[in-house]
C-alpha cells in the first residue's frame, strides 16, 4: 500500500510538471499559425487603441464645443475608459487590484442572483433618477415641475425600499426598559417646543429683510410664479420654499407660519442630539448635551426666526452623523442608506449638506487608518450609502452643473477666496494672505465663546454663556487628546470643518456666528463630555452616594438654563435689539399696511432713509402692495394724489413737519404715533373713508 501511494504521488508530480515544461518557449522560428495569431492580436490592440482615443476625442469635443450636452460628453468618456481598460487587460498581466475587482464583480453577481428583488429595486431607482434628470433638463422654464418632483420622490423611495428594514420591537418591553430616558427626552422636547413656538410671531416683534425675502419667495410659489423645486434661489434650495408655501397654504400667510419650519426643526434637534450623544457616550452626556440645545439662547433665537435656514442644517447634519456612525458600528445597510438619503435631502434645504458630503469621505479615510476593520466590514454598506446619495441628489447635481453660478451664489459672494476679498485685503493692508487667513480662523473659532453673535441677532453674548463657554474649552481639549477614538474623530472633524469652511473662509467671521451654527451639537457634546469627565475624575476621592452622583449635574444644568433663558427672554426679547433701525422701520410699515388691507394706497415720507425697494419684509407683510416713495420734502399739499382714494402716509420723526400739508389736503384723517421700545418710530396718517 505504501509503495502504491508513493508511485501515485510520483506520477502526480510528473503530470503537474508537464504543463510547465510545455509552456517553455521554443527556440527557433515561430510557425506560420503563431505569426498569424500574433498579427491578429496586434491588429486588435491597435483597433482598441484607436477606438479609445477616438471616443475620448469625441467626449472632449462635447466638453469644448457642445457644452450644453455635457452628459453626452461624459458618456463618450466612459466608453473610452472602458475600451482603454479592455486594451490594458489584453496587454498586461492582471494586477492584484484587477484580481480584487474581478472577485468583487463575482460577489456582486452572486448577490444579484441571491437577492433579485433588491437588485431590481436598485436598478429601477437609478433608472428613475436618470429619467428624472433627463426630464428636468428637457423642461421649459415656466412650465410645471410636479411630474419631475414626483418622479424624484419615487426614485429615492424605491432605493429606500431596497435597503431600509424596520426592525420589529416589542414596544412595551422597550418602554419598560428605557422608560426613564423616554420620559426625560420627551420632557426636554416638550420644553424645547414651548420655548420655540410660544409667541413665535411676536418674539422677535419684527421680521428682517432676509426673512421677508424667503417669505416673498414662498408666496411666489403659492402664486405659481416659482415652479422649479430642483433649483436654488439666493443659496436656498427651492424644495424648502415649497415646504414653506405648503405651510402658508394650510395656516395662512403670516409671521408665525413664516417661522414655523425653524421652530419645528429647532425642537426636533433636541431628541436627535440626545440619541447621538447617548450612542457615542452615556446617558449623562446625552442629558447635558440635549439640555444645552434645549435652552441655548443662540439656538433659541435662530429657531424663532428664519434666516439662511442654518437651523435646518443643525438638524439634518446631526441626524446624518447619527445614522452614519451607528450604521458603521452595527454594520447596518439600513442606517447607512438612510444616512445617504438624509444628507442628500438636505441639499434641497441649505448649504450645510455640501460640507458634510465632503467631510464624510475624509472621515472614512481617517477611520481606515485608525480602525481598518470597521471600514473593511462596511465596504458594501458604504457603497449603499453612496448609491442613496447619488439617487436622491441627482437633480440637484444637474442644477449645480447647469447653473454653477447660482448654485455657488452665496459662496461666490461671501467666500474670502471666491469673492477676491482675501487678495484685496492683502494688497490693502500689506499683510500676507496666510497671516490674514490665520486671523480669520482665529475669529471664526472665537465666535463660540468670545465674539458676540451679531449678524441677524445683534446679541451682546457669544454662542455660549459664561459657564458652558468655560467648560467647552476643557471638552475640546479632552476630545483632541482622544482624537484617535472614532467618536472624537467625528466630533473634531465636524467642529473644525465647520469653523474652517463656515467661518474662516467667509468675510467677517467674528460677526457671523450663525454661519457655523451646524457645529453647535458638536460644541454641546464637548461641553457634556468635559462635565462628565470632571465628575468621573473628581468624585473618585468622595464617598459614593446619590447626591454626589446627581447633584452637581442637576446644578450645572440649572445654572446654564437660568443664564440662557434670562439672556434671551428677559435681557433680549424685551428690547428692540433685533436688527437695525431701518430694518425695524420697514417691518413696522409692512405690518401696518397689512393690517389696513389692500384698499389703501401707501406713501412713504422716510427719505433720506432708504426703505422702499430695499427691504422685502414690507412686501411680505403688506401682501405686495405697491409703495409710493416721496423723496423730496413737501412744501405744500400733495395735490398730485387722488383725493378720493383711501391713502395712508408714513412719516419718520425727522419729516413730521410735513404732516400739516397732508392734513390740509386730506382733512379728517387719523394720526397714529408708533413707538418702538418707547422711541418714536414713525407717524402714520390714515385718510378718512370715502
Number of neighbouring beta carbons within 10 Å of residue 40: 10
Number of neighbouring beta carbons within 10 Å of residue 111: 13
Strand 647-651, strand 679-686: pairing: antiparallel
Residue 95, pLDDT score = 53
CB of 123 within 8 A of CB of 161? Answer: no
Closest by CA to 559, choosing from 462, 467, 463, 461, is 467
Does the structure show a pLDDT above 80 at 333? Answer: yes
Does the structure show a pLDDT above 50 at 488? Answer: yes
Question: Which three cell numbers, joined as nine digits, stand for 649?
Answer: 402716509
Residue 2, pLDDT score = 43
- In angstroms, the CA 117 to CA 155 distance is 16
Question: Which three cell numbers, joined as nine digits, stand for 312?
Answer: 435646518
Least confident range from 113-117, 133-137, 489-493, 549-553: namely: 113-117
Mean pLDDT of the chain: 87
HSE (side-chain half, CA atoms, 13 Å) at 466: 5
Does the structure show a pLDDT above 70 at 330? Answer: yes
Does the structure show a pLDDT above 60 at 12? Answer: no
Does the structure show a pLDDT above 80 at 544? Answer: no
Residues with Cβ within 8 Å of residue 634, at least 6 apart in sequence: 605, 658, 661, 662
Does the structure show a pLDDT above 70 at 113? Answer: no
What is the DSSP annotation of 197-215?
HTTTTTSSSS--HHHHHHH
Q: What is the pLDDT of residues 140-161, one digit of tens each?
A: 777 889 999 999 999 999 999 9
Average pLDDT in the 528-532 region? 95
* Residue 26 confidence class, pLDDT cut points 50, 70, 90: very low
Region of residue 506 (left: phi > 0; alpha: psi -120 to 50; beta: else): beta
Q: What dihedral angle (degrees, nearest 10) is formed by the CA atoms of 275, 280, 281, 285?
A: -40
Among residues of the chain, what percentage have pLDDT more than 90? 65
- In angstroms, the CA 457 to CA 514 distance is 9
Least confident range from 58-72, 472-486, 649-663: namely: 58-72
* Residue 24 confidence class, pLDDT cut points 50, 70, 90: very low
Closest by CA to 298, choosing from 454, 451, 463, 456, is 463
CB of 624 within 8 A of CB of 661? Answer: no
Closest by CA to 279, choosing from 232, 358, 335, is 335
Q: What is the pLDDT of residues 185-209, one digit of tens each?
A: 999 999 999 999 999 999 999 999 9
Average pLDDT in the 366-381 region? 92
Does the structure show a pLDDT above 90 at 345? Answer: yes
Average pLDDT in the 583-592 region? 96
- In angstroms, the CA 461 to CA 586 distance is 26
DSSP state of 516: G
Q: Provide the sign of the torsion angle of the four alpha carbons 69, 227, 153, 255, taken in this order.
A: positive
Residue 15, pLDDT score = 37
* Residue 4 confidence class, pLDDT cut points 50, 70, 90: very low
Residue 76, pLDDT score = 81
Residue 94, pLDDT score = 55
Q: Provide the sign of the torsion angle of the four alpha carbons 169, 170, 175, 177, taken in this order.
A: negative
Whether the model clears a pTM of 0.75, i.e. scores above it, the answer is: yes
E strand map for 501-638: 601-605, 628-629
- In angstroms, the CA 517 to CA 313 distance is 8
Residues with Cβ within 8 Å of residue 113, at least 6 apart in sequence: none
Residue 43, pLDDT score = 77
Does the structure show a pLDDT above 80 at 62? Answer: no
Question: Which three cell numbers, joined as nine digits, stand for 528?
Answer: 457634556
Helices 116-138 & 96-114 angle (0-180, nearest 10): 100
Residues with Cβ within 8 Å of residue 235, at least 6 apart in sequence: 308, 350, 351, 409, 410
Compute the chain's Rg from CA coordinates: 33
Q: Strand, helix or coil at 391?
A: helix
The label of the residue with cell 428613475 reads 128
Number of neighbouring beta carbons within 10 Å of residue 489: 19
Q: Strand, helix or coil at 677?
A: coil
Average pLDDT in the 25-35 region? 47
Give ∠ CA 647-650-653 in degrees, rounded to 5.
Answer: 150
Across the strands, what pairs with 601?
Answer: 647
* Residue 58 confidence class, pLDDT cut points 50, 70, 90: confident
Q: What is the pLDDT of residues 644-677, one digit of tens each?
A: 889 999 999 999 999 999 999 999 999 999 999 9
Closest by CA to 218, choosing from 237, 205, 202, is 237
* Residue 594 confidence class, pLDDT cut points 50, 70, 90: very high
Q: What is the pLDDT of residues 379-425, one digit of tens each?
A: 889 999 999 999 999 999 998 888 888 888 777 778 888 888 889 99
- In angstroms, the CA 659 to CA 522 distance is 55
Residue 447, pLDDT score = 94
Residue 295, pLDDT score = 98
Residue 98, pLDDT score = 53
Least confident range from 13-27, 65-79, 270-284, 590-604: namely: 13-27
HSE (side-chain half, CA atoms, 13 Å) at 154: 12
Average pLDDT in the 363-389 region? 93
Strand 236-237, strand 647-651: pairing: unpaired
Among residues of the chain, what percentage have pLDDT more than 70? 89
Closest by CA to 307, choosing from 272, 355, 266, 268, is 266
* Residue 520 confidence class, pLDDT cut points 50, 70, 90: very high
DSSP state of 566: I
Instruction: Report in angstroms the alpha-carbon separations of 510 from 456, 461, 506.
Output: 13, 12, 10
Average pLDDT in the 228-236 region? 84
Average pLDDT in the 117-138 region? 89
CB of 648 within 8 A of CB of 602? Answer: yes
Average pLDDT in the 317-346 region? 96
Does the structure show a pLDDT above 70 at 634? Answer: yes
Residue 412, pLDDT score = 77
Residues with Cβ within 8 Å of residue 305, at least 6 apart in sequence: 204, 207, 208, 211, 259, 262, 456
Residue 102, pLDDT score = 57
Amino acid at each position: 500500500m505504501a509503495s502504491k501511494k508513493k508511485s501515485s504521488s510520483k506520477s502526480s508530480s510528473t503530470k503537474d510538471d508537464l504543463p510547465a515544461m510545455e509552456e517553455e518557449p521554443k527556440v527557433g522560428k515561430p510557425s506560420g499559425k503563431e505569426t498569424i495569431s500574433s498579427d491578429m492580436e496586434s491588429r486588435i490592440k491597435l483597433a482598441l487603441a484607436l477606438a479609445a482615443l477616438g471616443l475620448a476625442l469625441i467626449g472632449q469635443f462635447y466638453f469644448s464645443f457642445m457644452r450644453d450636452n455635457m452628459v453626452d460628453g461624459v458618456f463618450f468618456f466612459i466608453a473610452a475608459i472602458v475600451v482603454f481598460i479592455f486594451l490594458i487587460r489584453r496587454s498586461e498581466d492582471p494586477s492584484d487590484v484587477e484580481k480584487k475587482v474581478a472577485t468583487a464583480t463575482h460577489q456582486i453577481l452572486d448577490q444579484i442572483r441571491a437577492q433579485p428583488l433588491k437588485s431590481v429595486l436598485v436598478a429601477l431607482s437609478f433608472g428613475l433618477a436618470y429619467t428624472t434628470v433627463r426630464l428636468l433638463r428637457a423642461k421649459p422654464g415656466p412650465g410645471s415641475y410636479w411630474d419631475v418632483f414626483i418622479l424624484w420622490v419615487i426614485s429615492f423611495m424605491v432605493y429606500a425600499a431596497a435597503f431600509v428594514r424596520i426592525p420589529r420591537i416589542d414596544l412595551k418591553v422597550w418602554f419598560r426598559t428605557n422608560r426613564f430616558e423616554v420620559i426625560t427626552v420627551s420632557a426636554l422636547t416638550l420644553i424645547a417646543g414651548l420655548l420655540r413656538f410660544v409667541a413665535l410671531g411676536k418674539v422677535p416683534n419684527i421680521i428682517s429683510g432676509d426673512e421677508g425675502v424667503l417669505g416673498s419667495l414662498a408666496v411666489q410659489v403659492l402664486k405659481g410664479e416659482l415652479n422649479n423645486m430642483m433649483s436654488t434661489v439666493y443659496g436656498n434650495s427651492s424644495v424648502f420654499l415649497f415646504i414653506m408655501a405648503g405651510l402658508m397654504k394650510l395656516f395662512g400667510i403670516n409671521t408665525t407660519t413664516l417661522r414655523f419650519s425653524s421652530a419645528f426643526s429647532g425642537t426636533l434637534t433636541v431628541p436627535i442630539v440626545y440619541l447621538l450623544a447617548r450612542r457615542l457616550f452615556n446617558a449623562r452626556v446625552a442629558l447635558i448635551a440635549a439640555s444645552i440645545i434645549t435652552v441655548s439662547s443662540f439656538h433659541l433665537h435662530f429657531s424663532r426666526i428664519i434666516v439662511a435656514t442654518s437651523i435646518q442644517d443643525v438638524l439634518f447634519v446631526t441626524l446624518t452623523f447619527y445614522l452614519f456612525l451607528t450604521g458603521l458600528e452595527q454594520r447596518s445597510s439600513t442606517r447607512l442608506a438612510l444616512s445617504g438619503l438624509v444628507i442628500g435631502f438636505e441639499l434641497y434645504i441649505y448649504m450645510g449638506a455640501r460640507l458634510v458630503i465632503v467631510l464624510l469621505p475624509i472621515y472614512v479615510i481617517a477611520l481606515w487608518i485608525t480602525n481598518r476593520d470597521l471600514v473593511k466590514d462596511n465596504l458594501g454598506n458604504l457603497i449603499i450609502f453612496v448609491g442613496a446619495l447619488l439617487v436622491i441628489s441627482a437633480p440637484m447635481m444637474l442644477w449645480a452643473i447647469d447653473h454653477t453660478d447660482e448654485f455657488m451664489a452665496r459662496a461666490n459672494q461671501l467666500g474670502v477666496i471666491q469673492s477676491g476679498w482675501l487678495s484685496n485685503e492683502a494688497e490693502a493692508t500689506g499683510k500676507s494672505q496666510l497671516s490674514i487667513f490665520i486671523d480669520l480662523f482665529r475669529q471664526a473659532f472665537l465666535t463660540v465663546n468670545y465674539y458676540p453673535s451679531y449678524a441677524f441677532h445683534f446679541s451682546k453674548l457669544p454662542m455660549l454663556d459664561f459657564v458652558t463657554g468655560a467648560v467647552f474649552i476643557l471638552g475640546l481639549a479632552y476630545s483632541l487628546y482622544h482624537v484617535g477614538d472614532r467618536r472624537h474623530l467625528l466630533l473634531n472633524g465636524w467642529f473644525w470643518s465647520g469653523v474652517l469652511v463656515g467661518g474662516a473662509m467667509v468675510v467677517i467671521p467674528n460677526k457671523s456666528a450663525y454661519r457655523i451654527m451646524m457645529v453647535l451639537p458638536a460644541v454641546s457634546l464637548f461641553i457634556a463630555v468635559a462635565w462628565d469627565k470632571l465628575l468621573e475624575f473628581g468624585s473618585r476621592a468622595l464617598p459614593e452616594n446619590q447626591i454626589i452622583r446627581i447633584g452637581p449635574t442637576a446644578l450645572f444644568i440649572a445654572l446654564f438654563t437660568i443664564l440662557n433663558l434670562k439672556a434671551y427672554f428677559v435681557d433680549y426679547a424685551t428690547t428692540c435689539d433685533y436688527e437695525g433701525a431701518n430694518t425695524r422701520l420697514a417691518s413696522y410699515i409692512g405690518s401696518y399696511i397689512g393690517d389696513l388691507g389692500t384698499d389703501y394706497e401707501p406713501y412713504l415720507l422716510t427719505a433720506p432713509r432708504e426703505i422702499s425697494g430695499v427691504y422685502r419684509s414690507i412686501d411680505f407683510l403688506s401682501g405686495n402692495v405697491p409703495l409710493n416713495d416721496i423723496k423730496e420734502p413737501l412744501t405744500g399739499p400733495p395735490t398730485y394724489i387722488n383725493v378720493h382714494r383711501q391713502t395712508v402716509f408714513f412719516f419718520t420723526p425727522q419729516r413730521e413737519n410735513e404732516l400739516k400739508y397732508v392734513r390740509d389736503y386730506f382733512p379728517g384723517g387719523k394720526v397714529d404715533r408708533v413707538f418702538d421700545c418707547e422711541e418714536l418710530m414713525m407717524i402714520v396718517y390714515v385718510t378718512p373713508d370715502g
